[in-house]
Structure 1
Amino acid sequence: MSQTLEAQHRVPERMAGLRLDQAAAELFADFSRERLKSWIKSGALTLDGQPAKPKDKVYGGEALALAAEIEDDTRFEPEDIPLTVVYEDEAVLVIDKPPGLVVHPAAGNPDGTLLNALLHHAPGLAAIPRAGIVHRLDKDTSGLMVVAKTLPAQTALVEQLQARSVSREYDAVVVGVMTAGGTVDAPIGRHPRDRKRQAVNASGKPAVTHYRVVERFRAHTHVRCKLETGRTHQIRVHMAHVRYPLIGDPVYGGRLKLPAGADDQLKEILREFPRQALHARKLAFVHPESGERMAFRAPLPDDLLMLLDFLREDGETMR
């Protein structure tokens, strides 16, 4: 089974000087660079209505148009993994992802992922690139994700993400007591020495995170973060950059800090907390078909509720 994919993007001025295949890889981010190259070579992906070569330069303002047949993706098996469905219709699916669930198969995680679960829940997603997944959450981050169920819906949601019109808000619990909220405007790119990590990097992509204080504790803060951009590990990197790393973050959290005078139970919870304390609580976007602005909220999961309860009790005990 196959579907015809039609999508268009205009090359932004900032991409002037890039090769066509490089620009296409960023604008049509749901497809691999090799697949995009093959479409350019076959004429399925055109530049200003004309066939082109992958190495041709772009200068900004050109129209890239894609018209290609997409075969069902049979590389991944459907798996009966429970999903918490918050909303579903013919075009979109909104889920509340639990912590510990990998979003997409990769080396070390060939199955047991959200993608496998989606293929079982809605078999038609086999005809959509990445089973309709248009954005990701880290394995140990919980909360809301939107999935496209049709090719036009996927194109529309990707365009909204690129235009920064999708609203995403997160709850986080960080180490340290914040005096006030603020904004972190610092580009993020690959860490210069550790390729598995991200870092604030002058040569990285623009990244903006707004945060505000929800509740202060004796040595920690519950904060609410709103993303303008969606870089890999963005909140984790930005909070660590301003010296308020997330509790439980194994990559960016640094050395464990225990509050002086905390009881043994709180110390054990802080030592053993199994993941970064981060939850995607709110998601809003324009429905690809109806044009209606839709907003969804996901309550804090039990592990974060328990963590906050113990932090409150610690403050009360020390008064």
Structure 2
Amino acid sequence: MALPHTPDSNPIDYIDEEDFIALEIPENVSGERLDKYLGGALPDYSRNRLKAWVEAGAVTVDGKVTKARHLLRGGESIKVFPQEMPEQFAFAPENIPLDVVYEDDTLIVINKPAGLVVHPAAGNWTGTLLNGLLFHYPELKHLPRAGIVHRLDKDTSGLMVVARTDLAQTSLVRQLQERTVGRRYLAWVWGEAPSQGKVLATVGRDQRDRLKMAAGSPQGKPAATLFRRLAKGEFMGAPLALLECRLETGRTHQIRVHLESLGFPLLGDPVYRKRTPGAAKCLPFERQALHAYALSLQHPSTSTVLTWFRLPPQDLHDLLPLIAMSEDDLPKESTLLASLQNDQHQ
């Protein structure tokens, strides 16, 4: 059963709600432009920077992305997600190769390689998927975040969808909010994982390390991850498993945090590894072994349900013989559709 949607759910799937500035607009500012009001309310930031954040989709008014010239009526709630980036570089087009799985006039589906950051942020102002999208699809400069509606971690590979129109972006964000977008991941984990399970635990910032997330955080947001075991393996006597994970929510680092909380950290994870066995030090794999292999959604224009499938990249294929697994253990595209349809009836 999916978690209930709450009215304050973040409309921007990948931005952490912990990192925003909240403003309640007085009634007496009716008719004032959004960018002008922000300049007066947040004097620590330049007006050019605030305007760039608005145009980049990092400011919401009553939960909706809008334009800098938007006229306030008074009484709204504003959230500002500080980007702390040099805008002239962060949103510049760059000729970055993209593995395009599907495209039409409405949306684009990308198979993201491990190592590619999705959105500019501290330490990665350039060389991101967003920069590549702006080069190959210049019209995306008119959309918040260049049409990006969700993200994968830098070292997670796999399928992502990008909107090409305002209507498509609105539709995809709504589908993410309503949790009707089907997202399947392959995760290789340490430990004797059960045949199936479900993790229900909030995910929020780790109070001891703000660079990490934590399961069960009192300040966290509800999160649910379902998983089933596809295969067992081992490395230097340490047991491990291949899991298929299905998200009912899309919190930052959700799969990595949830599985580690059960005692099943991902192979190669450089952050969530408290419970990794000693054998992990000898495994020649240096990123979290996580791949978004299936994506299913309703096409914003035709309402047709579309599904895409991509097997893991070469580094994960090369890992299989080292951990007593083979390509026969990977899911087959022929069985995926029936599984997705079964999910929709649960």
> C-alpha separation between the residues in 2 aligned to 1:95 and 1:38?
24
* Residue 225 (structure 2) pairs with residue 209 (structure 1): yes
Check the 8 A contact 1:40/1:53 in 2, yes or no. no
CA distance in 2, matches of 1:39, 1:80: 28
Contact 1:74–1:126 (8 Å) recurs in 2: no
TM-score where L is the length of structure 2:
0.70
Taking only aligned residues, the RMSD between alpha carbons, in angstroms, comes to: 3.1
Count matched residues: 267
After superposition, the Cα gap between the structure-2 partners of 1:120 and 1:42, relative to the gap in structure 1 and judged at 3 Å, is closer
> Partners of 1:134 and 1:128 in 2: how far apart?
11
What is residue 293 of structure 1 aligned with on the other side? Answer: 305
Residue aligning to 1:33:
59
1:50-199 mapped onto 2 (5 Å cutoff): 51-54=73-76, 76-199=91-214
Going from structure 1 to structure 2, the CA distance change for 1:216 and 1:234 (only over 3 Å counts) comes to same
Percent sequence identity is 48
Matches of 2:9 and 2:181 in 1, distance apart?
22
Secondary structure at the aligned position of 2:324 is classed as helix
Q: Is the 8 A contact 2:226 2:245 kept in 1?
A: yes
In 1, are the aligned partners of 2:189 and 2:267 still within 8 Å (CA)? yes
What is the aligned partner in structure 1 of residue 30 from structure 2?
A: none
Q: Partner residue of 1:245? A: 265
Q: In structure 2, what is the Cα distance between the partners aligned to 1:289 and 1:185?
A: 34
The answer to whether the Cα contact below 8 Å between 1:187 and 1:204 also exists between their aligned partners in 2 is yes
Superposition pairs of residues 2-13 of structure 1, within 5 angstroms: 12=7
Report the Cα offset of residue 149 of structure 1.
Answer: 0.6
Quote the Cα distance in structure 2 between the aligned partners of 1:139 and 1:276: 10
Distance 1:117 1:41 in 2: 25
Query: How far does the alpha carbon of each residue in 1:137-194 deviate from its partner, in whole angstroms, 9 at most, with x for none?
Result: 0000000000001111001100100000101000000011213210001011111121
Unpaired runs of 5+ residues, structure 2, are: 11-21, 26-53, 79-87, 327-346
- The 2-side partners of 1:293 and 1:281 are apart by 17
Q: Identify which range, 153-162 or 175-184, moves more after superposition.
A: 175-184
- Say which SS state the counterpart of residue 144 (structure 1) adopts: strand
**8 Å contact kept, 1:170–1:279:** yes
Tell me the CA shift for residue 34 of structure 1: 7.0
The match for 2:243 among 216, 223, 226 is 223
SS in 2 for 1:248: coil
Give TM-score scaled by structure 1 length: 0.76
Q: Which runs of 5+ in 1 are unaligned?
A: 1-9, 22-27, 46-50, 57-72, 260-265, 315-319
Letter in 2 for 1:290: T
CA contact (8 A) 2:57 2:65 kept: no
8 Å contact 2:116–2:154 — kept in the other structure?
Answer: yes
Deviations 1:32-81 (A, max 9, x none): 23777996997646xxxxx223459xxxxxxxxxxxxxxxx995111111
